[in-house]
Structures are given as C-alpha cells and as structure tokens.
Amino acid sequence: MAQDLAEEKSYDRRPSFTQRARRAQIIESTIELLAEHGFSGVSLSQIADRAGVTKPTVLYHFTDKANLVSCTYRSVLDAMVESVGNAIDAAEVADRPSVYVRAMVAHFVNRPSHARLTIEALTHGEGGTGSSERWKPVAELIDAARRTRGAEAASESRTAALIIGGAIDAVVAEALEDPDFDAIAASEEIVSLVEQRFLTG
C-alpha cells in the first residue's frame, strides 16, 4: 500500500506533456537568443517574449537565468551526442573516425544556432566539459579503427584526436562566418587526412 502511494506521488510529479512542451519551447527560444546576442546580451524577459510566455512562467520551469542557460547548453550537447552517436553506432568500427568527422560537421552546419551557442559556451567557460572529455572518445575511435584494420596502435592518438577536433571546430566556425564556405567538402578533406595520416600504417 505504501509503495503504491509512493509510486502514485512519483507519477504525479512527472511533468505533463504541456509542461514538457513549454519547457522545450523556452529552451529553443533561449538557444536562438543566445546564438544571436551572446550570454550577457540576453535577459529572462527577452527569452519570455521570444517564447510567447511570461517571465514567471520561465521561472516556474527554471530557477534563474544561470539554471536556464545551463539546461539550454545541456540540451544542445545532448542533441549533438545523440545525432553523432547514432551515426557512429551505425558504422563499421574501421570507419568510425571518418563517420565522426562527417557527422560532427553536418550536425552543426544543419544547426547553426547550436554551433554558435556551443562556441559561446566554450568562450565563456559555460561548456562544463574538460579537454579530455572532448579528445578521449575520438582517440578511442582511432585506436579501435586501427586495431580493426590490423594496424599497430597509434603512437599518439591523443594528438590525433586534438588535431581532428581543432579541424572540425575551424571548419564549423568558418561556415558560420561565411555561408558560401562548403563545410561538407571541407569535412571530406579532414576525412582524407584522418584516413592517410591516422588510420594506416
């Protein structure tokens, strides 16, 4: 009986469909505004106006601006991890470093507001992830691909991962700066480098 009541109370605390939709609407508006104006250039009132809700509604879902910004960045990060992770999971192990490059560039080219927000977060120390959290998964992809191809372990997969990450960051930033820049073609150049320099021999 007590367990049934506990489960019922737990169920009652779950956000409704409307609450989840409203929260998502506020986060999407925050992504747009942060990408346009930066962290310091956006107020809760602007976010409420963009989302078509009142400021108290924003504060009902998020305790304050810092909490909203943190949740927004987490949402952007989760979307990237899901998108790129699904592409990697669907690929053969030997091809995963190249798939990672293509998926990362495509994800941010198709979501420029996410790219701008990610850059803004890293610039202002809001990213919440250390350097190793960015390069280690890529280094592991490289090592696994090399083993699958029968190549010896890379002498410095960390350096390779840092080079790949830097190249992706530069291509995405250039695409944001110049809409005519062909980031997808540029990603193929990175893939060529990865294949020739890091996955053979």
pLDDT greater than 90 at residue 9: no
* CA neighbours closer than 13 Å in the CB half-sphere of residue 87: 19
Convert the pLDDT of each residue in 67-89 to its tens digit: 999 999 999 999 999 999 999 99
Q: What is the DSSP string of 98-137?
A: HHHHHHHHHHHHH-HHHHHHHHHHHHTT-S---HHHHHHH
Count the helices and strands in the chain (H runs, E runs): 10, 0
- Mean pLDDT of the 3-30 span: 73
User: CA 182 to CA 190: how far, in whole Å?
Assistant: 13
Q: How many percent of the chain have pLDDT more than 70? A: 89
pLDDT band per the 50, 70, 90 thresholds, residue 135:
very high
pLDDT greater than 90 at residue 186: yes
Convert the pLDDT of each residue in 140-174 to its tens digit: 999 999 999 988 766 789 999 999 999 999 999 99
pLDDT at 6: 44
Domain 2-198 of CATH type 1.10.540.10: no
Hey, where are the domains in the chain?
2-198
pLDDT at 123: 72
Terminal-residue alpha carbon distance, the chain: 65
- Mean pLDDT of the 94-116 span: 96
pTM for the whole structure:
0.84
